[in-house]
A and B are shown apart, each in its own frame.
Chain A
Amino acid sequence: MDLGQINPVLLVASLMVAATPLLLAAIGELVVEKAGVLNLGVEGMMIVGAISGFAISVETGSPWLGFVAAAIGGAVLSLLFVLLTQFALANQVASGLALTLFGLGFSALMGQSYVGVKPPSMGDIYIPLISDIPVIGPILFRHDPILYLGIALTAVVWAALKYTRVGLILRAVGENHDAAHALGYKVIKIRIMAILFGGACAGLGGAYISLIRVPQWTEGMTAGVGWIALALVVFASWKPWRVLLGAYLFGGITVLQLNLQAAGVAIPVEYLAMSPYLITILVLVILSADKSSAPASLGRTFHASH
């Protein structure tokens, strides 16, 4: 056992990378659920985003275009969910599950010719002087741009929900869609926008895995991150900063436990392997002791005639 082999600076830097896909997907889902819609298709939208982003960045040579395509890909798939739940008034849980299954299969089909291809690298931001500061530089100022986008998005979503009129309307739709409708707000339209936003974020999260974290395309490569994102939103009591905290905790402990294993720490590996799930849930459950609850209309179908 030699903890000196673990470089804390590299550890913190890599935990931020490990947390970003989760953060992006979860923050999108948070907005969707705040609007009163439960979309269980996060995993499906992520994997479609992963292959869309990968394919476009390989074809064009630009990771930026890749991420744009990933957001569009995720949003397009979520359109299917829109059709099913907002127009056909289908059950949201079943539609979300179908979306995941469809996304996994469809991405495998699209990705067949991209197995083993190396994507263009995005490169990390480098700011002279600031990026060279010991410790703080590598941790805060030497990442890829999408990682900062994830943090910025959290801040924007938080501010928008809390301080803006748009946020207020979105929350009203999620809490009581009949009342919002009676006040003249277009419930369906607002929900569609929220679902598309959620799809785009999930797509970005997926592309972050295929373009930056791994980087390669493999079938089924999101391997359950979408489900963790869903759980995270609930445990974070639908609060953006707690989602960020939860994602970093989860990513951090995942990377930390691998580090501890490699350094030969004498904790049974089984405990290490389950620790990310346990600790993240524990911390967020303790935080949510303030009785914040789910949006009241979550998962309920809206029809104007009601």
Chain B
Amino acid sequence: MKFKSLLTTAAIALGLATGAVAQDKTKVGFVYVGPVGDGGWTYEHNKGRLAIEEEFGDKVETVFVESVPEGPDAERVMTQMALEGADLIFTTSFGYMDPTINVAKKFPNVKFEHATGYKMADNVSVYSARFYEGRAVQGHIAGKMTESNIIGYIGSYPIPEVIRGINSAYIHAKKANPDVQFKIVWAYTWFDPAKEADAASVLIEQGADVILQHTDSTAPQAAAQEAGNVITFGQASDMSEYAPKPRVSSIIDNWGPYYIARTRAVMDGTWTSSNTWDGIGPGMVEIGEISDAVPADIKEEALALKAALADGSYHAFTGPLKKQDGSDWLAEGEVADDGTLAGMNFYVEGLEGDIPQ
């Protein structure tokens, strides 16, 4: 009995002590859709988390949970984080949108940041990167480099973010090479290396010599390397271990600066709900080094395109553009507005197949 009460006292004391320490620190939580070692999407978010730790040192404490399925389980993980005293929680996948909103309602004093979604609340911000700008550069290189004129595209889920990428890549591939054809395979997963590799192999078997991916692992790169004479692009992360070939360039998501800024805002008490959507210009999207497998003139064109996207002199969705069904979308010189882009659910003219609904 005595021993028990001693233990209880010790436990309470310990709890109080850690509680007291925790108050000084800002606690930042991260919910990841894949493992931090995926080499792609989650890997970059985790780099952002480490950047926060480096910037603020002892003043912050970060926690993360990896491989959280999109759905009810995500709600449980977020609730747990909020209960453990997180001040700011980043939920880093599209499928966490509704869970984030639900949990945010229950914890009005905790700030939430949801990546790539569009539902906001007083304590929920959304942020995303204009990956489609990077896709434009990839599309240009792909269109110039393909010899079979067939470009394979591995999609994850048919959500606006992925459809924007397909459209942007297609528009610029078509500009570079009018004969180009896109073959699109939906993997219905963000992370499943075996399936992603199968998808890449299937596309290669059906004649594709360029593979674009919107899934998180490096498996398609490995499959392309195995097949030989196929080029790929790093997705979300540089994936430079597959350079100079098959990986000839990449889109790199650079979350660090944004994460640091938002954490600072929570510390200062200046955090407000906001909608951030940055591209190449502000540095949220980076283009990985274009390797020597790409001829110098194509590389130069790609870099010029990147520069134009960065300084705003060119928009990746500039008219004249038509929708897949032949109806007019953008007139000559008109650029797409963010609202349409954020909810994009149609292919542009020339792409084949239907978007799964």
Write the residues of chain A forming the contact surface with B, with a CB cutoff of 8 angstroms: 5-7, 10, 14, 18, 21, 108, 111-112, 115-118, 121, 209, 213-216, 218-225, 254-255, 258-259, 261-264, 266, 268-270, 273
Contacts and interface: CB of A to CB of B under 8 A. Distances in A.
B213 interface: no
Contacts of B39: 115-116, 218
A112 B39 CA distance: 11
B103 interface: no
**Which of the listed residues A21, A219, A254 has the most CB atoms from chain B within 10 Å of its own CB?**
A219
Interface stretch (B168-176, B219-227, B326-334): B219-227
B201 A14 contact: yes
B12 interface: no
A262 B183 CA distance: 5
Given A216-B218, A223-B194, A223-B195, A111 B225 contact: no
**Which of the listed residues B34, B192, B352 has the most CB atoms from chain A within 10 Å of its own CB?**
B192
B152 A262 contact: yes
Nearest to B152: A262
B38 A219 contact: yes
A213 to B, nearest CB: 6
18 contacts: A112-B37, A115-B37, A116-B218, A214-B193, A218-B37, A218-B39, A218-B218, A218-B219, A220-B35, A221-B193, A221-B194, A223-B191, A224-B192, A225-B194, A255-B202, A258-B199, A261-B185, A262-B203
Contacts of B188: 269, 273
A252 B222 CA distance: 21
B97 interface: no
The 8 closest A-B pairs by CB, nearest first: A116-B241, A219-B37, A219-B35, A269-B356, A223-B192, A216-B222, A221-B193, A258-B202
B146 to A, nearest CB: 15
Interface in B46-69: 67
Given A112-B37, A117-B241, A223-B189, 4 more contacts: A213-B197, A213-B198, A261-B185, A261-B186
B351 to A, nearest CB: 10
Contact of A216 (B192, B193, B356): B193
A55 to B, nearest CB: 14
A111 B226 CA distance: 21
Contacts of B339: none
B205 interface: yes
A267 B205 CA distance: 21
B207 A5 contact: yes
A255 B198 contact: yes
B293 interface: no
B206 A6 contact: yes
A108 B202 contact: no
A214 B356 contact: no
B67 A220 contact: yes
Given A108-B37, A115-B39, A216 B203 contact: no
A264 B183 contact: yes
A63 to B, nearest CB: 14
B225 to A, nearest CB: 7
Contacts of A254: 195, 198
B354 interface: yes
A40 to B, nearest CB: 18
A259 B353 CA distance: 14
A177 B114 CA distance: 54
Contacts of A264: 183, 352-353
B217 interface: yes
Contacts of B207: 5
Given A14-B201, A116-B241, A223-B195, A216 B36 contact: no
A223 B186 contact: no
A118 B225 contact: yes
Contacts of A5: 206-207
B222 to A, nearest CB: 4
**Which of the listed residues A108, A223, A263 has the most CB atoms from chain B within 10 Å of its own CB?**
A223
B199 to A, nearest CB: 5
A268 B38 contact: no
B81 interface: no
B356 A118 contact: no
A93 B185 CA distance: 37
A20 to B, nearest CB: 11
A168 B207 CA distance: 51
